[in-house]
């Protein structure tokens, strides 16, 4: 069987997803053949250039027509969040498997509609997955496995942060990620969604209540020049930033542990610093994306004279995903998570199983995001998160 893929969108995430689709069949023995059939964008010339550069067979400007084609099996959505719901629901109703970038949608209502559509589609054997790619960094998957195996005991506290600095310059132009109508929210939804999902993933527990605050540090920015990208050149005049720059919040997990969350685009000097530390009764585990091939493990049951955080180099064949890559010590990078994403999605489709994270899991993250915004609007009062899928 051959799975023919259509990718809707072709920005930064389009490049990353293209690497995944191109490399997964070359490195892993996929159970089904994959073909990069068509890429879709609004600008015909730019989309055609992306198709040629990234290895797609053809390009198009009409996603509705592409989604309805009989020769398309998977629709990969890498557009801004304001179009996720419309495209994903149309694709699922057309019988296409769907991979959708995170966060699932811009609102809980959209995410609920998408999760409902995915549930109906699953009854017909059609699968849907959210692209929380950091789950597939081998060290993160290993962290989850060690927590599940009881190596840290009962989880007592989690610290999760995602720090970037690309908005520190107040003259950075007003890109779509800074406009609520397109992005839904700012640092909270864009990178905060990652640490919410990662916390739920590695602990196996949903976030049930939150207390937090969000803030917009630079409230106006230069308008972006027509046709420029995420960090493109400025045009004339200024426009309002309608999303947050910074989100700080506390969460409580289902079994009682507290989590501190930080999502910011104003952490000067931090380029892509996602970190998580899980502390338990028997030990602790820590991961930092800026050192993504390692995992720090503290074993409290070890003799006192040898206790201390131990560096695990997660490059052995026994580690998640690694056996198909390079010899031990030959490092993996950011792009490999997108390859592993394709591997897991295609494998689930072949097995007739739901790939994770499901749209229901994406909805659970969306509900946490909504609860944080509600808390911030109510003087950081604790807000319970509506029930959603366990991870």
| C-alpha to C-alpha distance for 65 and 12, rounded to whole angstroms | 24
Of 109-118, 184-193, 278-287, 311-320, the poorest mean pLDDT is in: 184-193
Asked if the bond preceding 103 is cis, omega within 30° of 0, the reply is yes
Indicate the SS3 state at residue 132: coil
276 pLDDT more than 80:
yes
Name which of 103, 66, 76, 57 is nearest 10 in CA terms: 76
Q: Which two tokens stand for residue 267?
A: 């952490």
Per-residue pLDDT at 263: 98
The position carrying tokens 């419309």 is 86
- Average pLDDT of every residue of the chain: 95
Among positive and negative, which fits the CA dihedral 235, 238, 242, 243? positive
227 pLDDT more than 70:
no
* Vertex 301 angle, CA 155 and 317, to 5°: 80
Helix intervals (H) in the chain: 12-27, 44-54, 63-67, 84-93, 108-122, 138-148, 180-183, 187, 193-203, 336-351, 359-377
| C-alpha to C-alpha distance for 324 and 336, rounded to whole angstroms | 11
| C-alpha to C-alpha distance for 116 and 94, rounded to whole angstroms | 15
Asked if the bond preceding 386 is cis, omega within 30° of 0, the reply is no
- The pLDDT-based confidence of 388 (bands split at 50, 70, 90) is very low
- Long-range pairs of 225-228 with CB within 8 A, sequence gap ≥ 24: 225/173, 227/43, 228/173
Buried-state track 196-205, b at ≥16 Cβ within 10 A, e below 16: bbbbbbbbeb
- Topology (CATH level 3) of domain 137-361+363-384: Dihydrodipicolinate Reductase; domain 2 (3.30.360)
Question: What distances in angstroms separate CA 360 from CA 9, 194, 209, one per listed residue?
Answer: 23, 15, 18
- The pLDDT-based confidence of 267 (bands split at 50, 70, 90) is very high
- Measured in whole angstroms, the distance separating CA 42 from the mean position of its chain's CA atoms is 24
Evaluate whether 165 touches 265 at the Cβ level (below 8 Å).
yes
Evaluate whether 286 touches 169 at the Cβ level (below 8 Å).
no
Residue count of the chain:
391
Per-residue pLDDT at 235: 60
- The tens digit of pLDDT for each residue in 36-55 reads 999 999 999 999 999 999 99
Q: Which two tokens stand for residue 96?
A: 């296409």
Q: Which two tokens stand for residue 366?
A: 């969306």
Q: Which two tokens stand for residue 234?
A: 């400025």
Q: Which two tokens stand for residue 132?
A: 């929380």
- The tens digit of pLDDT for each residue in 344-375 reads 999 999 999 999 999 999 999 999 999 999 99
307 pLDDT more than 70:
yes
Second-level CATH architecture of 2-133 = 3-Layer(aba) Sandwich (3.40)
Residue range 145-153: mean pLDDT, rounded: 98
296 pLDDT more than 60:
yes
Asked if the bond preceding 357 is cis, omega within 30° of 0, the reply is yes
Evaluate whether 143 touches 285 at the Cβ level (below 8 Å).
yes
Per-residue pLDDT at 390: 43
Q: Which two tokens stand for residue 334?
A: 């950011």
- The tens digit of pLDDT for each residue in 57-107 reads 999 999 999 999 999 999 999 999 999 999 999 999 999 999 999 999 999
Residue range 118-139: mean pLDDT, rounded: 98
Q: Which two tokens stand for residue 386?
A: 């509506």
Domain limits, the chain: 2-133, 137-361+363-384
Residue range 117-128: mean pLDDT, rounded: 98
Question: What distances in angstroms separate CA 133 from CA 197, 238, 352, 361, one per listed residue?
Answer: 10, 34, 21, 14
236 pLDDT more than 80:
no
387 pLDDT more than 80:
no
* Vertex 114 angle, CA 374 and 41, to 5°: 105
Per-residue pLDDT at 125: 98
2-133 matches 137-361+363-384 in fold: no
Residue range 314-339: mean pLDDT, rounded: 98
Cβ atoms < 10 Å from Cβ of 254: 14
């Amino acid at each position: 069987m051959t799975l023919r893929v259509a990718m809707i969108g072709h920005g930064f995430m389009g490049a990353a997803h293209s690497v995944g689709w191109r490399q997964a069949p070359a490195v892993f023995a996929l159970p089904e053949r994959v073909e990069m059939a068509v890429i879709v964008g609004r600008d015909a010339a730019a989309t055609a250039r992306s198709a040629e550069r990234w290895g797609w067979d053809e390009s198009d400007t009409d996603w509705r027509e592409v989604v309805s084609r009989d020769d398309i099996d998977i629709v990969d959505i890498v557009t801004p969040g304001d179009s996720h719901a419309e495209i994903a629901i149309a694709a699922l109703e057309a019988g296409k498997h769907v991979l959708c970038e995170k966060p699932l949608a811009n609102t809980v209502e959209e995410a609920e509609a998408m999760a409902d559509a995915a549930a109906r589609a699953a009854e017909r054997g059609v699968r849907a997955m959210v692209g929380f790619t950091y789950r597939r960094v081998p060290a993160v998957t290993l962290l989850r496995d060690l927590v599940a195996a009881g190596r840290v005991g009962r989880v007592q506290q989690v610290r999760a942060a995602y720090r970037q600095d690309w908005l520190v310059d107040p003259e950075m132009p007003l890109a779509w990620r800074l406009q609520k109508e397109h992005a839904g929210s700012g640092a909270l939804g864009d990178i905060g969604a990652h640490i919410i999902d990662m916390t739920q993933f590695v602990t196996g527990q949903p976030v049930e209540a939150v207390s937090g605050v969000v803030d917009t540090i630079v409230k106006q920015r230069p308008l972006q020049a027509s046709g420029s990208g995420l960090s493109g050149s400025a045009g004339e005049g200024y426009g309002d930033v309608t999303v947050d720059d910074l989100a700080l919040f506390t969460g409580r997990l289902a079994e009682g542990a507290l989590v501190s969350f930080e999502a910011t685009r104003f952490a000067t000097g931090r380029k892509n610093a996602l970190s998580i530390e899980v502390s338990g009764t028997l030990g602790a585990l820590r991961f930092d994306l800026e050192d993504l091939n390692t995992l720090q493990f503290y074993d409290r049951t070890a003799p006192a004279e040898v206790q201390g955080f131990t560096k695990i180099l997660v490059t052995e064949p026994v580690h998640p995903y690694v056996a198909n890559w390079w010899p031990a010590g030959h490092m993996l990078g950011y792009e490999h998570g997108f390859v592993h994403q394709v591997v897991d999605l295609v494998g689930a489709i072949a097995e007739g199983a739901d790939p994770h994270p499901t749209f229901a899991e994406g909805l659970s993250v969306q509900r946490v995001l909504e609860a944080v915004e509600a808390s911030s609007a109510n003087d950081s009062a604790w807000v319970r998160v509506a029930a959603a899928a366990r991870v």
